Copies of this chain bind each other. A is one copy, B any other.
Amino acid sequence: MLNDVSTTPRTRMTSDGRRRQLLGIGLRMLVERPISELSVDAVAAEAGISRGLLFHYFPTKGAYHDAVIGAAIRRVLRNTAPDEDAAPEEAVAQFVRRFLEQVDRRRDFYLALVFGTGARSLGGDRVESLRLVFARRLVDAIGAGEDAVPVAHAWAAYVEDRALQWSDPAALAGRVPIEQEVTHCVAALDALLAVGS
């Protein structure tokens, strides 16, 4: 005899599946408008569920927005993580390369995440946490001390700006090969760490 799950109609979803679907819709919409304009009605309509059912998964509009931003940050962190077993210099290069690729592939998504999520109304917490994870990863990878975190944190902002310049559609024709950009950013970290605090 078939179990219950196999007889569930296709339109029924597991709780986890529904949650993932709703976050996926939010991630797509995030590219088109600031998060503060992301309407839960539009999300529920696209998912084919009622507003009430959406609020079953995310109790408030704010909770839904937070979950979407959290999912966006996790996506960027997952896509830019260096390999666990990479040597220090290679780990930095991997991070820069993967970050450049991420911004190049999903530039509007990245701009939306950093500059369109109303990070301000959260006191800049989200941008802060993204750069802080980048910084701690890098400092761990190169075996530097805690006092290197502020430089690595600001270097992450430097690399972000380079990535946005490099991936600018208006400058695409004249851009340098990705490995040249990686080399620059890796050397920039060394140079900045040598400046000292």
Contact = CB atoms under 8 A, between A and B. Distances in A.
A33 interface: yes
A111 to B, nearest CB: 5
A145 to B, nearest CB: 16
A62 interface: no
A159 B155 CA distance: 9
Q: How many copies does the complex hold?
A: 2
Q: Give the dominant DSSP class at A's interface.
A: helix
A88 interface: no
A123 B169 CA distance: 11
A165 B184 contact: no
A99 to B, nearest CB: 13
Interface of A: 33-34, 36-37, 108, 111-112, 114-121, 123-124, 127-128, 131, 150, 153-162, 164-165, 176, 180, 184, 187-188, 191-192, 194-197
